[in-house]
Chains A and B, each alone.
Chain A
Amino acid sequence: MDEAVDLSALDPARDTKRWDRMIASVAARALAARRRRMTVSHQLLLWARPSLAVAAAAALAVWAGALVGGQDAASHSADPAIQLAQWAQEGEAPEPSKVLRVLGGTDELE
């Protein structure tokens, strides 16, 4: 009962030439279908990925730049308050021109 049953009458590979043709045909049809799918739209889709990555990187760079710039601006805007507080704490009486300069004015009044 352990011996295999001879099913070779059902074996399509017995006709080796026909079998080889069938294998070649399936592989060729599969490759042709794959090439058809590689159409312009597919190529665009492939290009879209790196393009999206570049756009995302550029957006990140702009955002990071804005963030750093914002911090600078914030530090600038914080300067007068700190300076004024420091003057108040130390009981210093600064020159009006100094006060104007710190508050964003110029030295034109000097």
Chain B
Amino acid sequence: MPSPEATAALVVRAQQGEPAAFTALVRAHLRAAYAVALAVVGRPADAEDVAQDAFLIAFQRIDTCREPARFVGWLLQIVRNQSRNWVAKRRFRDVPAQDETPDRGAEPNMPDMALRKHLLDVLSRLTVPQREVVLLHDLDGWTHPEIAASLGISEVMSRQHLFVARRELRARLDGTIFEVDHG
């Protein structure tokens, strides 16, 4: 994740309407937005849509972002609100989760799809904050200080959420996934 100062500079440029700044902000933070959306909506395809919609809303309101250095926390709050709205609407027009495809437009990969489904099942057993922390940390490479600052929780709580989430994931995915050596 870029530093708050670098993000703030991009936000100021975006507020001035500079196209390259919009692209840079999306490139820097779309995956984090996706991670938070996935923590709430639980389906990757939905999370991608929510993350994109949240970015569009954020850019519509970019002039009201008075603290550019806190853009990420502001963006993730929009993502969270959009995700909750999405879940509320989905109750009325629900599509079975089994219809989920790994990457729309990509070649289907059956073992990958099975692993993906398994991961989603296990993640669904965690709380939303636990999912947010483990996805931001282990999927997008955030540090605990970054998570604490953006989610409005303490670093201790962030570590606690990560510890519990990883323990649950390992217990239920034992032998299914590989651990990576960057935590």
- Which A positions have Cβ atoms within 8 angstroms of B? 1-15, 18, 22-27, 29-31, 33-34, 37
The size bracket of the interface on B is 35 or more
Q: Which chain A residues lie closer than 8 Å to B169 at the CB level?
A: 5
Query: Are A11 and B56 in touch, CB under 8 angstroms?
Result: no
A62 to B167, CA, bound (A): 76
Chain A CB within 8 A of B135 CB: yes
Q: Which chain B residues lie closer than 8 Å to A27 at the CB level?
A: 19, 22-23, 26
Query: Are B26 and A10 in touch, CB under 8 angstroms?
Result: no
A30 to B75, CA, bound (A): 14
Q: Which chain A residues lie closer than 8 Å to B135 at the CB level?
A: 7, 10
Chain A CB within 8 A of B52 CB: yes
B1-9, B89-97, B114-122 - the one binding chain A: B114-122
Say what secondary structure dominates the interface of chain B.
helix
Query: Are A26 and B178 in touch, CB under 8 angstroms?
Result: no
Min Cβ gap B52→A in Å is 5
Query: Are A4 and B56 in touch, CB under 8 angstroms?
Result: no
Q: Which chain B residues lie closer than 8 Å to A34 at the CB level?
A: 17, 59-60
In the complex, which of the residues B23, B38, B170 has the most CB atoms of chain A within 10 Å of its own CB atom? Answer: B23
- 24 A-B pairs with CB atoms under 8 Å apart are A1-B166, A3-B181, A3-B183, A4-B138, A4-B179, A4-B181, A5-B134, A5-B138, A5-B166, A5-B183, A6-B178, A7-B138, A7-B139, A9-B116, A10-B38, A10-B44, A10-B120, A12-B31, A14-B103, A18-B106, A24-B23, A26-B52, A29-B56, A30-B55
A23 to B55, CA, bound (A): 10
Min Cβ gap A79→B in Å is 57
Query: Are B19 and A9 in touch, CB under 8 angstroms?
Result: no
The 8 Å CB contact of B48, one of A6, A12, A14, is: A12
A5 to B138, CA, bound (A): 6
Query: Are A15 and B23 in touch, CB under 8 angstroms?
Result: no
Would you list which residues of chain B between 120 and 168 have a CB under 8 Å from chain A?
A: 120, 134-135, 137-139, 163, 166-167
Known contacts A3-B181, A22-B30, A22-B52: A11-B23 contact under CB 8 Å: no
Q: Which chain B residues lie closer than 8 Å to A26 at the CB level?
A: 26, 30, 52, 55-56
A9 to B179, CA, bound (A): 12
Known contacts A10-B119, A26-B26, A27-B19: A2-B52 contact under CB 8 Å: no
